[in-house]
């Protein structure tokens, strides 16, 4: 019972650290949203760029190399390029969150990123 009361004395400090970490996480989320990851498909025929929120921000198609008669192939390449760019962006976000967790002395498995 007395041990629990001792921990209450640390409560203001713990709450201050929690507020600080929340602010840092909000800033990190904003920073990651500005970062971009790019991937291509079809040997560069299609290139997709997504941001840290996994939103498609740019799509480039090499018009000189496409076959207008093969729309299905182009659609498949677009899907593949976007999926690859999203995967790269997700990995970028996970790596940064893992790094921040370690900086704060938290094990990466507490961030839900273990085994990622």
Q: Which domains does the chain have, with CATH numbers?
A: 2-111 (3.30.1310.10)
How far is it, in rounded angstroms, from Cα 49 to Cα 67? 22
How far is it, in rounded angstroms, from Cα 82 to Cα 38? 8
Give the pLDDT confidence score for residue 48 in this predicted structure. Answer: 98
The bridge status of strand 46-51 relative to strand 56-61 is: antiparallel
Give the pLDDT confidence score for residue 55 in this predicted structure. Answer: 96
Q: What is the pTM of this model?
A: 0.73
Give the pLDDT confidence score for residue 56 in this predicted structure. Answer: 97
Give the pLDDT confidence score for residue 105 in this predicted structure. Answer: 72
Give the pLDDT confidence score for residue 60 in this predicted structure. Answer: 98
Q: Looking at the chain, how many residues does it have?
A: 116
Binned average pLDDT, 10 residues per bin, the chain of 116 residues: 65 78 83 94 97 96 93 96 97 88 70 47
Burial of 81 (C-beta count, 10 Å sphere; 0-12/13-18/19+): buried
């Amino acid at each position: 019972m007395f041990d629990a009361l001792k921990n209450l004395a640390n409560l203001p400090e713990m709450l201050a650290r929690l507020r600080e970490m929340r602010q840092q996480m909000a800033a990190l989320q904003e920073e990651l949203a500005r970062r971009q990851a790019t991937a291509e498909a079809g040997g560069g025929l299609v290139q997709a760029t997504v941001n840290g929120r996994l939103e498609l921000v740019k799509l480039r198609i090499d018009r000189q190399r496409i076959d207008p008669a093969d729309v299905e192939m182009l659609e498949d390449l677009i899907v593949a390029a976007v999926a690859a760019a999203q995967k790269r962006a997700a990995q970028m976000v996970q790596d940064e969150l893992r790094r921040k967790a370690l900086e704060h002395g938290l094990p990466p498995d507490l961030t839900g990123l273990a085994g990622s």
